[in-house]
């Protein structure tokens, strides 16, 4: 007889995005976690969890989910391995590369990520979600930000994770979402 146990990371907030969108950089900027960061895809191979703590000692947990690729809902790459951790988060943050690296636009990335989640588990796209529009220090980021805002109804927070710019506003929005969940 065998018993198989599956551990799913539990976190209040899940960071989702393509490889190299800046999820680990954001986690490093706003939590006590120190995940490895490097300028190549799939540096993060396992979910990393950190604690966001405010001056008034209010806290919540944030998980950096390894980069999702197209076809993840069909278990392409390590799709199920990564997607299953998102199921245990109550708020989703789409971390998007506003520079449009790798020839993709941020709005195409958002659509693809949304579709991967919907195909894997339709309930995931019903969760409270916001967008961290990362790499705002890069060329074309401002122009891409305006186009992204025209494309989505989700709240968009422009940030530069490696410079910790825009992160306090993002965290306040996440705190508000978390507090709203407590009373619903």
How is 116-129 classified by DSSP, letter by letter?
Answer: HHHHH-GGGGGS-E
Instruction: Quickly count: other Cβ atoms within 10 Å of residue 66's Cβ.
Output: 24
pLDDT in tens, 131-161: 999 999 999 999 999 999 999 999 999 999 9
Q: Which range has the top average pLDDT, 31-40, 120-129, 167-176? A: 167-176
Domain assignment of residue 92, given as a range:
11-182
Tell me which DSSP letter residue 12 carries.
E
Query: Is position 3 within any domain?
Result: no
User: Is 5 part of a structural domain of the chain?
Assistant: no
- CA separation (Å) from 158 to 26, 91, 94, 155? 12, 18, 12, 10
Q: Tell me how many domains the chain contains.
A: 1
Instruction: Kindly state whether residue 168 falls inside one of the protein's structural domains.
Output: yes
Q: Is the pLDDT of residue 178 over 60?
A: yes
Q: Is residue 1 part of a domain?
A: no
Q: Is the pLDDT of residue 46 over 70?
A: no
Total-model pTM = 0.86
**Beta-carbon count within 10 A of 179 CB:** 12
């Amino acid at each position: 007889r065998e018993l198989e146990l599956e551990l799913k990371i539990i976190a209040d907030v899940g960071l989702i995005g393509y490889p190299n969108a800046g999820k680990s950089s954001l986690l490093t900027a706003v939590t006590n976690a120190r995940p490895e960061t490097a300028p190549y895809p799939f540096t993060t191979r396992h979910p990393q969890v950190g604690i966001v703590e405010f001056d008034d000692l209010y806290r919540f947990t944030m998980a950096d989910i390894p980069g999702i690729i197209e076809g993840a809902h069909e278990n392409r790459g390590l799709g199920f391995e990564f997607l299953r951790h998102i199921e245990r988060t109550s708020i989703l943050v789409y971390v998007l590369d506003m520079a449009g690296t790798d020839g993709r636009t941020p709005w195409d990335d958002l659509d693809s990520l949304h579709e991967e989640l919907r195909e894997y588990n339709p309930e995931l796209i019903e969760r409270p979600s916001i967008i961290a529009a990362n790499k705002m220090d890069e060329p074309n980021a401002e122009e891409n930000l305006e186009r992204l805002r025209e494309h989505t109804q989700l709240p968009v927070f422009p940030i530069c994770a490696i410079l910790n710019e825009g992160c306090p506003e993002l965290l306040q929005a996440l705190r508000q979402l978390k507090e709203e969940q407590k009373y619903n």
